Amino acid sequence: MKIIGLTGGSGAGKSVAAEQFQKLGAGIVDADAVYRELCSNNMDMLNNLKSEFGDILTEDNKLDRTKLAKIVFSDSKKLARLNEITFPYIKKTSDEKFEIFRKQGCLIALYDAPTLFQNGADSICDSVIGVIAKRETRIKRILQRDGISEQAAASRIDSQPNDEFYYTHCNYILENDVSRETFESEVKQLWKKLLE
């Protein structure tokens, strides 16, 4: 089974790509979904985060993601520290999910991870796809999706790597400033390449 990394900044359209790859037969391990799962039930990880970042848990001991986001998205050192703490937990759970796909005879499993390179998770991938889009497109999508201010969306984008980073580090690039139909057909063409 090939493990293919899928990465890109917020609002670039990574989840649209993942959805399309899944329809074509890929197994998907979504690092964000794994993280959300851990944020609601892994007290080990949550206590580590609490001792690093302070009062970031809700009354029922789940992570207050909004509170944590305010702390880490304005400070790259804190964001790096968040990734250091959470990555081992995310990797362990992700590995378990890959193992299930392997046992099911899956040919390709995608590792959908926005911070794939920052965490060194690219080391488990056979190759990596980067999804990119223009800044204004990304801001518009984040506003529609998350209902946050334009300033918050812009600061989220600014805390993430630029397009040049993805061109330098990824084996394949999907540009998502096109219609959904065009984008989906580009995903299909790439899928054929990956199966070769």
Least confident of 12-21, 96-105, 146-155: 146-155
User: 148 is written with which tokens?
Assistant: 């946050």
CATH code of 110's domain: 3.40.50.300
Tens of pLDDT along 167-180? Answer: 999 999 999 999 98
Sole residue written with tokens 């061109």 = 167
User: Cα separations (Å) of 64 from 68, 79, 118, 192?
Assistant: 6, 15, 23, 41
Q: Amino acid letter at 139?
A: I
Written as six digits, the tokens of 171 are 């084996």
**Domain limits at 13?**
2-192
Global pTM?
0.84
Total count of domains within the chain:
1
Could you read off the pLDDT of 56-92 as tens digits, one per residue? 999 888 899 889 988 987 888 998 899 889 989 998 9
CA 137-134-184 angle, 5° bins: 75
